[in-house]
Amino acid sequence: MTSGTATKDLTARAKAIAPVVAEDADEAERERRLTDRTVEAMKAQGLIGIWVPESLGGLEASPGEGFRLFEEVAKTHASAAWNLWIWSTVGQFTSTLSEEGIAEMFADGPTGAIGAGGLFPLAPATPVEGGYRVTGRWPYCSGSGHAQWLGGGCMVLGEDGQPRMIMPGVPEIRFVTFRRAEVEIIDTWHVVGLRATGSNDVSVENGFAPGHLTSAFGPMAPKGKHYQGPLYRFPVLGALAAPIGAIALGVARHALDEFMKLAKLKTPSTSQTQLTELGAVQHEVAEAHAAIESARAWLYGTVEDAWRTTLAGQPVSMEQRRDLTLAAAHATRAASHATGIAHVNAGGTAVYETSPIERCFRDVHAATQHAGTSPRTFASAGRLLLGLAPDNPLILA
């Protein structure tokens, strides 16, 4: 834990915003973006920029603190937790930004630096005087509805029009950032789950990206003076992918809690026995609870193990990185399984939009589709377990 965060109870702050998040969830789902009131509540509790350096007005919370925050908010509304996580990653994406860029982006503190973007697909960036010319389109830009800064990943081109290399076989990749007015936000986010995340496409045509608003991306990129704390030595995937596991577990816990409340009130139409008295239901409730809690224990265990190594000033090993990403992917699958149990056993009640279990079912399955916790994560981890070289370069960052 970094200095000063011991008194910053993020779980208590999450509970403080829960009434607003819950009250506005239906409107957010209809509008496919969080309400302004929800975002203002997050700002008021200091939850925008929890992974931003303290020297820039953020909380510089530990990874575990962040995971617990996202999990707690997800128990109320998954989309709110998802956006809060995305906006927290600005701390990682700005860690190699120039001092001029930092001063511009954080002129109004973390609440003025809300960002959205996509790392892939990499767009071509042509160097010009003072910066880069970029034409690109990035999907899944979560939080775009409230972001002041938007952009995406780029492959820097050399004079020959081919990717510019920083070392043999390693191309130069940069994340370019534009002000909101300089990009087009394309209304593509018409989906089943995580509806309120506003994860639209962002496009720019022959846009000028000033050099001071672009950041290097990769394990060799030097960190700025505000980013010398241990948080910014933690594996990048620990911030850019693994939190999805915590969000999914929060959704699953919400679904199971809602089912257990329903079970005390409902007698199925084909039975004269209340749900709580059915042996099959008792068995499945226990199975769902075990799936959530066991996955949670492994996920938080891997996070804390890697964090202890980071605090000790030691490099996080490949095995630790493997298990961190694998535990997160496993957590999404365990959460999906547990939520499915709640959904099936709730019967016809769970098919209505008035049922919170219905939303949980949609949201948790959408979370399993993210590239950072998709089935491919298991294959990548399997390669490492079998002694093969990693096939995901981001695991090294």
Q: Identify whether 142 is part of a domain.
A: yes
Residues 55 and 147 in one domain: no
pLDDT at position 4 is 41
Residues 208 and 277 in one domain: no
Q: What is the pLDDT of residues 45-86, one digit of tens each?
A: 999 989 999 999 999 999 999 999 999 999 999 999 999 999
Q: Is the pLDDT of residue 172 over 80?
A: yes
Between helix 78-88 and helix 243-263 the angle, nearest 10°, is 160
Q: Are 243 and 370 in contact (CB under 8 A)?
A: no
pLDDT at position 219 is 65
Two structure tokens written together for 105: 């982006």
Average pLDDT over residues 16-41: 98
Q: What pTM value is reported for the model?
A: 0.95
Average pLDDT over residues 348-374: 95
Average pLDDT over residues 213-227: 86
Average pLDDT over residues 258-269: 93
Residues 119 and 72 in one domain: no
pLDDT band at 2 (very low <50, low <70, confident <90, very high): very low
Residues 180 and 42 in one domain: no
Q: Identify whether 108 is part of a domain.
A: no
Residues 254 and 380 in one domain: yes
Q: Is the pLDDT of residue 269 over 90?
A: no
Q: Is the pLDDT of residue 7 over 90?
A: no
Domains in the chain, number: 3
Round to whole Å and give the CA distance between 252 and 339: 5
Q: Identify whether 228 is part of a domain.
A: no
Domain boundary among 222, 254, 278: 222
pLDDT at position 287 is 98
Q: Is the pLDDT of residue 6 over 50?
A: no
pLDDT at position 5 is 44
Percent of the chain past pLDDT 70, that is, above it, reads 97
Average pLDDT over residues 93-120: 94
Residues 14 and 34 in one domain: yes
Round to whole Å and give the CA distance between 64 and 365: 24
Residues 36 and 134 in one domain: no
- Rounded mean pLDDT of the chain? 94
* Residue carrying structure tokens 């996955």: 295
Q: Is the bond preceding residue 121 a cis peptide, omega within 30 degrees? A: yes
pLDDT band at 104 (very low <50, low <70, confident <90, very high): very high
173 DSSP β-pair partners: 155
Cα-Cα end-to-end distance for the chain? 21
Q: Are 371 and 380 in contact (CB under 8 A)?
A: no
Domain boundary among 222, 245, 279: 222
Domain hosting residue 304, numbered range: 234-396
User: Cβ atoms within 10 A of the Cβ of 235, count?
Assistant: 24
Torsion of CA 231, 58, 85, 64, to 10 degrees: 40
Higher-confidence residue of 273 and 7: namely 273
Q: Identify whether 103 is part of a domain.
A: no
Q: Is the pLDDT of residue 316 over 90?
A: yes
Taking Cα atoms as reference points, which of 134, 78, 137, 135 lies closest to residue 361?
Answer: 78
Q: Are 280 and 320 in contact (CB under 8 A)?
A: no
Q: Identify whether 149 is part of a domain.
A: yes
Residues 29 and 156 in one domain: no
Q: Identify whether 98 is part of a domain.
A: no
Residues 217 and 257 in one domain: no
Residues 88 and 165 in one domain: no
Q: Identify whether 378 is part of a domain.
A: yes
Residues 240 and 210 in one domain: no
CATH number at residue 392: 1.20.140.10
SS (H, E, C) the chain: CCCCCCCCCHHHHHHHHHHHHHHHHHHHHHHCCCCHHHHHHHHHCCCCCCCCCHHHCCCCCCHHHHHHHHHHHHCCCHHHHHHHHHHHCHHHHCCCCCHHHHHHHCCCCHHHCCEEEEEEEEEEEEEECCEEEEEEEEEEECCCCCCCEEEEEEEEECCCCCECEEECCEECEEEEEEEHHHCEEECCCCCCCCHHHCCEEEEEEEEEEEHHHEEECCCCCCCCHHHCCHHHHCCCHHHHCCHHHHHHHHHHHHHHHHHHHHHCCCCCCCCCCCHHHCHHHHHHHHHHHHHHHHHHHHHHHHHHHHHHHHHCCCCCCHHHHHHHHHHHHHHHHHHHHHHHHHHHHHHHHHHCCCCHHHHHHHHHHHHCCCHHHCHHHHHHHHHHHCCCCCCCHHHHC
Phi, psi for 254 (deg, rounded to 5): -60, -45
CATH number at residue 85: 1.10.540.10
Residues 324 and 346 in one domain: yes
Q: Is 375 left (phi over 0), alpha (psi -120 to 50) or beta?
A: alpha
Q: Identify whether 100 is part of a domain.
A: no
Q: What is the pLDDT of residues 237-256, one digit of tens each?
A: 999 999 999 999 999 999 99
Find the farthest-apart pair of alpha carbons in the chain and give their distance in angstroms, rounded: 77
pLDDT at position 243 is 98
Average pLDDT over residues 347-355: 94
Round to whole Å and give the CA distance between 247 and 79: 9
Q: What is the pLDDT of residues 123-148, one digit of tens each?
A: 999 999 999 999 999 999 999 999 99
| Lowest mean pLDDT across 84-93, 211-220, 281-290, 310-319 | 211-220
